Structure 1
Amino acid sequence: MAVYKNREAFIPHSRTDIIQLCLQDGQLSATSAEKFKNFCQILSAYYHFRFHKTQETIKDNYAPFDPNTNVQPLTQPTFDQYKEMELKVVDAFKHILERANYIPLPASVVQESVGKASLIDLKTQVDFEDFELFCCYYQGDISKKISVKKLFFWEEEKIIDVFERIVLLIKFKEEAYFSAKKVKIEELKFTPGKMYVYFYKNIPKLDIDLLFPNVATSMNWKDRLLFGIPAIGAAIPLLLKTLPNLLLLIAAILLVLNASSLVESLHVEQEKVRNVLPILVATLSLGMGLGGFAFKQYTNYKNKKIKFQKDITDTLFFKNLANNAGVFQTLIDIAEEEECKEIILVYYHLLTSPTPLNPEQLDSRIESWMEKKLGTKINFDINGPLNNLENIRGKAQRNASEADSAHQKPLLSYDNQGFCHVLPLENALAVIDDVWDNAFQYNGIALYGGSASALKFH
């Protein structure tokens, strides 16, 4: 089984397209093709049902951590319940991302992005101590050539590393931690103790830090120079112009302090100094001049800061796919699609292969088939769908007797040589149909009778 470092397990085609591709492959007769479509339909419905349970688990346990919720619980969870609910959310989050063929991103890679610039040239700082936990997953590690606007009409082409999809989960520490840091809670851009989940597309590796709610941004050294040098250049003529009035003001102060000798050293006419009105005018002129200059520079700084914030907002707004509770729903749909696509591909190729295949040979066959048919190079995850097919068990014959029902068969089994074998379509349809029919079991005298019925999930 080949391992490709530059390939991912994600299948960039829809489940419907994969099924259609199998049907167009010419390996199935018209009758078998119809049965195969039915098999895929029931299989997809079954996995939709299974992932719905995961969705309900997340919904029930994420509520206390959702910063956007408007639902109030009847009773607040205890500390132990609170920690258990947090663990269930994080475990389910990681589970669906792995099922969706997303890859964990090490914390060290995220931390390395802080202070480095890619598309948005900003100085950034993220305090990772604010987090009780955070985890990050990605899909699609690619390089892109982009044009970056420099001076006037000049554009520079550069190649940057980009994550096509990136998911980030952050749990902030409680309010007591931020109060101890002397931080004003009402000024925070997030709610302490809450769990934030973000889903973005096409994010440069070095701009991951901009996704964090507690990121602090400021001008880099280049922008400081571009801002500071013109300010100094504009200040010098202003100071030269106001210098005579400044000298008059200093001389008047010294005269009040009976420091006549120091007044003479300034070479200022004492008659002008003793005349109060010109000094007041000079003082007012100096104050207005410096005040106006300071206000202008402050306005320029604020405008520059607003431009930076706009750059960040524009970049992230158009790349945002979902937030918080919406992320879980989106990821569950992706995971469900991936799970079904993998199982369908494995079952189809074992069904149509003229010779028995072991897992390594099956893996290579599927990868070569995908590249030949679609030009798509993937590193197929063979173990997941094999385990799923082996764990789907049911009656292999329709209308089987109670005695036969005790001998449930798996969709996939192995022989003594390690080769994989799947049930023929007719039997596979019976098994998946039996599994679907028994997804719910109602224990009681009658479904609509007077006795209570217990609902059990398999």
Structure 2
Amino acid sequence: MPTKKDTAQATPTKVPREHFIPIRRVDLLQKACDQISESAANELRKVEEMLVSTLHFEYHRELERLKIAYGPFDPDADTRKVTALDAERKDELLDELVARLSALMCRANFTKLTRADLESAMQQASHWGINLSVDFDLFDRLEVYYRGEQTRLKRTPRRWFGLRKGIKVPVELYTRLVVLLRIKTGELVPEDVDTNTVHIKAFKDIPKLDLEMLLPGTRVNMSLFDRIKLGFSLSTGIGMTGYKMAGPLVGLIAGATSTSAMIGIATGAVGYSVRSFYGYMQTKQKYMLTLAQNLYFLNLDNNAGVFFRILDEAEEQECRETLLSYYLLAHHAPAGGWTVDELDAAAEAWLKQHFGIDVDFEADDAVAKLKRFQLLACNESDRLVAASPMEALRRMDKVWDEQFDYNQKTESPCPEPTSPR
């Protein structure tokens, strides 16, 4: 049965708007193309192709950097370690890994949870009736990031007297959650645990009150309901056994009761105690099974696989922001262009109108990418005006060509052979 503390936590809070646009890039592009002429749509698709190719190349570079930084700590690596690293160098690489991952999570619209956030969530018991305790001293490094908050009606709480029918309660969830952790070397760590590795895991739809179930070294604490139930059964059994043993015990002292009868009664008392303890172990096993099942179905990726997932999501997000901004400036803005705030408002209104989503569009980031890819025309009034599609393609082709410029800076050491006369 939920406690008052649980019930208080069940009250949903107002979820802030997200920067993340939960629409596939291809769907966003198709919706934009449906609103313009066929020739203009073909031009927009070409701009999108150049944009996607350039961003993909940039993110591929970042993926390679992350793989290099994570190499010494990857618990799933099947390659041999050629160079031995000392502790100081490993700490430097770990700092670099965390810094790169943190920057990537920011680009993918994730937010870092502070130590205070984690401790606050772990002090509460969820509506499963499961309460876990976590020893933070076990971790040498612990980083937790989330993206998206929502409230769902789920999980019927247990009721008294075996009644199964209950009301569904609102449960606050993190839509996406990423955990990076490294176990600290110490006496409490089992010998088979490699403390040199760093584990990275991605999950979906994790209740805020169940964050501790994602961390190793957690201990199951029985809920108040199960403690009362177990204590009531045990005390009742001991009381009844004591009551039944009182008469025979007096008889044994007086010589009226046999020793075998007393042994039988004592055995019954011990058996009842064993039964009560077995019930406790069954309850604990049920909790652990619940945790295992949920971790199985809510896990998205592990270790190096997390990089591929988050990089892809960050790349897609930047493509959506930049493509939508260019489309709105090219086909909806007046000839004099828009300010950044006007672009921000137009993008939010367009997404609301066509997809029914309410997001906090990051116009500043989108404009920075438009400028970097030279997709804006010059404007003395400092307003945003989109370059024409053909001019945008020409400029982006130049940006693409400059990704490698070795051929422009050096002369060929081998001149072209001339044809004999």
- TM class by shorter-chain length? 0.7 to 0.9
Shift of 1:225: 0.9
| Structure richer in strand, relative to its length | 1
User: Where does residue 9 of structure 2 map in the other structure?
Assistant: none
**Partners of 1:323 and 1:247 in 2: how far apart?**
66
Gaps of 5+ in 1: 250-266, 393-409, 450-458
**Partners of 2:15 and 2:272 in 1: how far apart?**
58
1:345 corresponds to 2:324: yes
Shift of 1:92: 1.9
**Partners of 1:5 and 1:360 in 2: how far apart?**
23
User: Where does residue 123 of structure 2 map in the other structure?
Assistant: 115
User: Per-residue CA shift, 1:255-278, capped at 9, x if unaligned?
Assistant: xxxxxxxxxxxx523xx79xxxx5
Gaps of 5+ in 2: 1-13, 416-421
Q: Which amino acid aligns with 1:13?
A: I
Which is greater in Rg? 1
**Partners of 2:22 and 2:286 in 1: how far apart?**
37
Runs of 4+ in 1 over 4 A off after TM superposition: 242-249, 441-449
Write the mapping of 1:220-369 to structure 2, written as runs, cut at 5 A: 220-243=223-246, 267-269=253-255, 279=259, 281=260, 284-285=263-264, 288-352=267-331, 353-355=333-335, 356-369=337-350
Paired residues of 1:119 and 1:204 also in contact (CA < 8 A): no
Shift of 1:425: 1.0
Q: Which amino acid aligns with 1:379?
A: D
User: Equivalent residue of 2:382, what SS?
Assistant: coil
Q: Which amino acid aligns with 2:82?
A: L
> Higher mean Cα deviation, 120-129 or 411-420?
411-420
1:60 corresponds to 2:68: yes
Q: Residue 448 and residue 290 in structure 1: after superposition, are their counterparts in 2 closer, same or farther (change >3 A)?
A: farther
User: Per-residue CA shift, 1:3-45, capped at 9, x if unaligned?
Assistant: x98311100101111111111122xx43332122111112111
**Partners of 1:413 and 1:129 in 2: how far apart?**
55
Q: Residue 78 and residue 447 in structure 1: after superposition, are their counterparts in 2 closer, same or farther (change >3 A)?
A: farther
1:389 corresponds to 2:377: no
Q: Which amino acid aligns with 1:123?
A: N
1:10 corresponds to 2:20: yes
User: Equivalent residue of 1:308, what SS?
Assistant: helix
1:97 corresponds to 2:105: yes
TM-score by length of 1: 0.79
Write the mapping of 1:202-221 to structure 2, written as runs, cut at 5 A: 202-221=205-224
Q: Which amino acid aligns with 1:155?
A: G
Identical columns (%): 26
**Partners of 2:106 and 2:229 in 1: how far apart?**
47
Between Structure 1 and Structure 2, how many residues are aligned?
A: 395
Shift of 1:308: 0.8
Q: Which amino acid aligns with 2:376?
A: L
1:440 corresponds to 2:404: yes
Paired residues of 2:153 and 2:171 also in contact (CA < 8 A): yes
Paired residues of 1:357 and 1:419 also in contact (CA < 8 A): yes
> Higher mean Cα deviation, 100-109 or 13-22?
100-109
**Partners of 1:343 and 1:448 in 2: how far apart?**
43
> Higher mean Cα deviation, 144-153 or 372-381?
144-153
